[in-house]
Amino acid sequence: MPAKTADLHLHTTFSDGIDAPARVVELAKQVGLAAIAITDHDNTEALAVAQPVAKRLGIELIPGIEMSASAEGQEVHLLGFFIDPAHPGMVQHLKEQQARRIERVHEMVKRLGQVGVRIDAAEVLTLAGEGTVGRPHVARILLKHGYIASLPEAFSKYIGPKNPGFVPGSPLLPAQVIRVIRDSGGIPVLAHPIYLDRDLLIEQFVRDGLAGLEVYHSGHNPEAVRRYEEIADRLSLLKTGGSDYHGTSKEGLPVGAVKIPYALVDALRQWKATVPR
């Protein structure tokens, strides 16, 4: 029997992933994962859809989310594990944040128009469908209309932090988002710290209630993994990890591209059982 493993960072069509929740669970089964977390951007609707599939296939589905915040003008992504998606504070937050994301698309389209890039917000919103809209949907429409030759080009030329079409994903501070996660029974974890690349901010987030660090991530090379393991140990943070699977809407990495030992899932559960909110 090989050791049990988990992939705790997966996206579906309820945010910017390409695959429906049931398909993501099937892919997880195929690669032999014992546990997964679906962590859509500012959305929990995949969880109820995926749960019966996970049950049928004998996979443990941890209710998760990836929430946007801003610190010092930087995008901060916070993962929440073992959240209660029905918690009123979470429901209200997501309703507001999803509305902000729709407003943001209109603002991005307006700014892109000012540099001669003409796309239609309605087309972006239709592509997002029932899921939370995000920059990858804008990128796909830019690709469709020939403004870029590949999706990463959208983020280097038009909608990345230094580009004319950039609009931050959320005006809220990490402290506020961490509070929503904790109030809903969840464990707040800083996602892919390499993307933020401001290690000093992590200590502030810990004072704000952060409980874990996503040490293992498809964007972390071995040196980054070592660095974040050290930081997590120094600050007594939980360690999590996952592939950040999006299907072909990002790099096309497979489910299970990052697998972590199941012991880290046990540590999360242990924390939840013992730490007061």
Residues that bind Fe ion (CB under 5 A): 16, 77, 191
First-to-last alpha carbon distance for the chain, in angstroms, is 37
**Can you read off the two tokens belonging to residue 150?**
């590949």
Alpha helices in 120-220 (DSSP H): 121-128, 135-144, 151-157, 174-183, 193-196, 199-207
40 binds Zn ion (CB under 5 A): no
CB of 134 to Fe ion, least distance (A): 6
Per CB under 6 A, contacts with ligand AMP among 159-218 are 169
19 binds Zn ion (CB under 5 A): no
Distance in angstroms (rounded) separating the CA atoms of residues 14 and 178 = 22
| Residue 72 Ramachandran class (φ > 0 left, ψ -120 to 50 alpha, else beta) | left
| 1-62-231 Cα angle (round to 5) | 85
Per CB under 6 A, contacts with ligand AMP among 84-123 are none
CB of 262 to ligand AMP, least distance (A): 25
Candidates 134-142, 171-179, 244-252, 269-277 — which segment interacts with Zn ion by CB under 5 A? 244-252
Asked if 148 contacts 158 with a C-beta cutoff of 8 angstroms, the reply is yes
Q: Which C-beta is closer to Fe ion: that of 178 or that of 191? A: 191
247 binds ligand AMP (CB under 6 A): no
Among 88, 113, 129, 152, binds ligand AMP (CB under 6 A): 152
19 binds ligand AMP (CB under 6 A): no
Asked if 242 contacts 216 with a C-beta cutoff of 8 angstroms, the reply is yes
155 binds ligand AMP (CB under 6 A): yes
Could you list the residues that contact ligand AMP (CB under 6 A)?
16, 41, 68, 134-136, 151-152, 155, 169, 246, 250
